[in-house]
Amino acid sequence: MSSVRYRGRIACAVAVLASGVILAAPAAAAENSPPPLTTRDASALAAKMAATLGDGTVGSYYDQSAAQLVVTVADTAGAEQVRTAGAVPKQVGYRKSELKAVTAELSRKATIAGTSWRLDPRSGKVLVTADPSVTGTDLSRLTNLVRGFGARAQLRQTGSRLRPLLSGGDAIWGQGLRCSLGFNVHDYSGKPAFLTAGHCGVATNDWWADSGNAQHIATTQQATFPGNDYSWAAYDQGAEGPSEVNTGQQITGAGDATVGESVTRSGSTSGVHQGTVTGLDATVNYQEGSVSGLIDTDVCAEPGDSGGALFDGSTALGLTSGGSGDCTSGGETFFQPVPAALSAFGLTLP
């Protein structure tokens, strides 16, 4: 495989989960149910509803079976706005500010390695996760804190540890490590570059197309981790890759993920896997530090998949950050949103 084909690889991440009743429309309005939406249309509508409802919604999710967007609401006025916009309202017990107060308290008192949390629009709660490394006084502190939130939060424990999916290998090779290429992009001057995970970029300045470090392909320009988890590297002259991932799927732009959206991940260790977006704006506390604003999914990933691509058709969604589990038993993976990475570095895609 040429160095060009090494550019479309994908990476890994970690996250958290969280109930409600869909507000039924009057029987007479059954014939006027919202029209079916594509996932991209649902994503655009979700952003519009978030801006319109503000504190009156804790998020939305895509119902694949009905091809409709379900939007959480705190009151009947919000429900009517949602119906008018062409989505399905779902009553939940709390406003966004009430759940954000929970995550703020978690950040102050429970930033413990091996934990994560996010607002879950399906349940209308904050879902808090602890991996097996959280034990003893740390687990007691977390458990007591979550109990104190009452019905606003829910704690679950995973069977495997949360970690960045870094491996020390088809892939891009750094100085003593292997990651996966996310997406090919261009810098402000139009020169070719690529995105990968931030924890990969902070670990190496140079990238090669082979494990023996014989074919140099790029140099890291900027990297952010923890806090965020994205980096970019400028290609050497003649080494740039195509605007596609290694499945052959052309990538024509970047977009925001939607809860319930079907997605595909490609990584250099475990290959191509499908799954669903389970949450947004997740915070994950790795041993190396905390990362916020992540996409949570039930897609599996393994070490070496870090930095790899998460996408839906031709739309780039995320870069693999970390997660728990593997592709034999299944797992949970977190992704850094691509639009945030492009904005932070002034890059364009494709």
Residue range 51-102, pLDDT digits in tens: 999 999 999 999 999 999 999 999 999 999 999 999 999 999 999 999 999 9
In three-state secondary structure terms, 137 is helix
**195: which strand partners?**
183, 232
Structural domains of the chain, ranges and CATH numbers in brackets: 1-16+162-350 (2.40.10.10), 21-91 (no CATH), 99-157 (3.30.300)
- pLDDT digits over 109-135, tens only? 999 999 999 999 999 999 999 999 999
CA separation for the pair 126, 173 (Å, rounded): 38
CA separation for the pair 118, 198 (Å, rounded): 21
pLDDT computed for residue 200 by the predictor: 96
Tens-digit pLDDT string for the chain (350 aa): 333 334 333 333 333 223 344 444 333 344 568 889 999 999 999 999 999 999 999 999 999 999 999 999 999 999 999 999 999 999 999 999 999 999 999 999 999 999 999 999 999 999 999 999 999 999 999 999 999 999 999 999 999 999 988 654 348 999 889 999 999 999 999 999 999 999 999 999 999 988 888 999 999 999 999 999 999 999 998 888 777 787 888 999 999 999 999 999 999 999 999 999 999 999 999 999 999 999 999 999 999 999 999 999 999 999 999 999 999 999 999 999 999 999 999 999 97
Q: Which residues are catalytic?
A: 199, 229, 306
Per DSSP, helices labelled H in the chain are 39-53, 76-85, 96-109, 136-148, 198-201, 338-345
The pTM of the full predicted model, rounded to 2 decimals, is 0.87
CA separation for the pair 126, 24 (Å, rounded): 24
Q: What is the C-alpha R_g of the chain?
A: 20
Angle CA 187–192–193, to nearest 5: 75
Determine the distance from the C-alpha atom of residue 246 to the mean position of all C-alpha atoms in its chain, rounded to a whole number.
20
